[in-house]
């Protein structure tokens, strides 16, 4: 039995209705509770909760400060490849998109790491397209030891792998792995992943469990906002987090909140999420599980990040590039997604330090 089997028992449309039809009293009850259930989470995500958003924001900030103090972790993504065998309709790296593909060699990885070091980062997120032959374990065995020399906390966002591979990655120095389910709605998942290994929804959904079995320090989870109705999708994610807390309590859980934008290939998000909805969504998760590590990427605007960081965020990226060779060689190939907050590291650092936050470049201090 895995969470995929648990998902079979959950009705997507029923949970969507729970959110949409939640009463004001259920929202008040959820705000009063200290240990909140998925049912409470659904109420906090509901239209009825909108009038209570100021109260949710205040409570989210209180819980964030209680758990993480005034710290704000700083990390940077390092894209090693943009090769991909999948055909995800929403991604710039999809196999059908025609642009110059790149796989960094050892010399180029060293150059990227040197550029990152000059920016002050010690927490690095390695990202690749999903290509097992040119971006799989043989490649990682060469490149991860290089990146590890430059990082005190090393994260990865790559294709799902088996438990033994994750154990080996941990031995190579990987501390955390991020793997997003994209959506828990099966018809939507199948429609948007027509080809490639990613088509196997069960294998992808069971990845956090394999990471837990491998003893990974932190497991990153999340959905793509805009792919399916986010109300029910978020509830499925909350159920998944609860499952992971129960069965793999040794590992920390982190969340990211990628909002889909139009992408190469003509993709337009069918369920766009507004900034106000995103604030409510993030606050609801902070109230649901105060221990969650929550990050916000440069996908979002500087104005939005300035607003949400003090409320519920404990780690951010800055000065990011979403293409291989983007730091040392300044390549201008098709990026995975468009960066909306293009401020440099020094500018962002000064901004949040003025807000009273202590920027941490060594992730172990905020774990």
The per-residue pLDDT for 363 is 65
Looking only at the bridges linking them, the beta strands covering 71-79 and 315-317 are parallel
The per-residue pLDDT for 95 is 56
In which domain, by residue range, is 72 found? 3-366
Taking all residues of the chain, what is their mean pLDDT, rounded to a whole number? 91
The per-residue pLDDT for 329 is 76
Rounded Cα distance between 230 and 294, Å, is 18
Residue 98: is its pLDDT beyond 80? no
The per-residue pLDDT for 208 is 98
The CB density around residue 156, as the number of other CB atoms within 10 Å, is: 25
Give the percent of the chain with pLDDT over 90. Answer: 75
| Token code pair at residue 214 | 């491998």
| Token code pair at residue 82 | 């943009």
CATH of the domain at 320: 3.20.20.70
The per-residue pLDDT for 196 is 78
Domain count for the chain, please give it: 1
Partners of residue 79 on adjacent β-strands: 127
Rounded Cα distance between 268 and 199, Å, is 20
Cα-Cα-Cα-Cα torsion 206, 95, 77, 141, nearest 10 degrees, comes to 70
Cα-Cα-Cα-Cα torsion 266, 103, 362, 247, nearest 10 degrees, comes to 70
Q: Is the alpha carbon torsion for 25, 26, 30, 35 positive or negative?
A: positive
Q: What is the pLDDT of residues 285-328, one digit of tens each?
A: 999 999 999 999 888 999 999 999 999 999 999 998 888 888 98
The per-residue pLDDT for 154 is 98
Rounded Cα distance between 290 and 247, Å, is 18
Residue 90: is its pLDDT beyond 80? no
Mean pLDDT of all residues in 256-280: 83
């Amino acid at each position: 039995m895995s969470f995929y089997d648990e998902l079979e028992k959950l009705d997507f449309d029923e949970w969507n209705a729970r959110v949409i039809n939640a009463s004001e009293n259920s929202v008040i009850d959820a705000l009063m509770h200290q240990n909140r259930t998925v049912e409470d989470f659904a109420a906090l995500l509901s239209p009825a909760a909108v009038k209570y958003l100021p109260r949710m924001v205040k409570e989210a900030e209180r819980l964030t400060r209680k758990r993480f103090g005034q710290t704000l972790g700083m990390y940077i993504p390092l894209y090693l490849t943009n090769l991909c065998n999948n055909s995800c309709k929403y991604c710039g790296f999809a196999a059908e998109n025609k642009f110059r593909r790149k796989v960094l060699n050892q010399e180029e990885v060293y150059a990227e790491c040197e550029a990152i070091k000059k920016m002050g980062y010690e927490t690095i997120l390695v990202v690749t397209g999903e290509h097992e032959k040119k971006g799989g374990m043989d490649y990682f065995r060469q490149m991860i030891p290089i990146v590890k020399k430059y990082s005190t906390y090393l994260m990865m966002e790559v294709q799902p792998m088996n438990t033994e591979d994750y154990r080996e990655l941990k031995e190579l120095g990987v501390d955390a792995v991020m793997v997003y389910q994209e959506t828990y709605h099966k018809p939507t998942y199948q429609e948007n992943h027509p080809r490639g290994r990613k088509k196997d929804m069960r294998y992808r959904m069971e990845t956090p469990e394999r990471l837990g079995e491998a003893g990974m320090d932190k497991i990153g989870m999340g959905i793509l906002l805009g792919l399916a109705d986010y109300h029910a999708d978020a509830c499925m994610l909350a159920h998944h987090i609860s499952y992971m807390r129960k069965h793999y309590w040794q590992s920390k859980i982190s969340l990211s909140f990628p909002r889909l934008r139009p992408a190469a290939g003509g993709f337009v998000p069918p369920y766009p999420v507004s900034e106000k909805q995103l604030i409510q969504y993030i606050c609801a998760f902070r109230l649901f599980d105060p221990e969650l590590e929550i990050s916000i990427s440069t996908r979002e605007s500087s104005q939005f990040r300035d607003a949400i960081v003090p409320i519920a965020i404990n780690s951010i990226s800055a000065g990011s590039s979403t293409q291989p060779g983007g730091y040392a060689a300044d390549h201008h190939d098709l990026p995975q997604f468009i960066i909306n907050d293009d401020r440099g590291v020094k500018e962002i650092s000064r901004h949040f330090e003025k807000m009273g936050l202590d920027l941490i470049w060594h992730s172990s201090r905020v774990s």
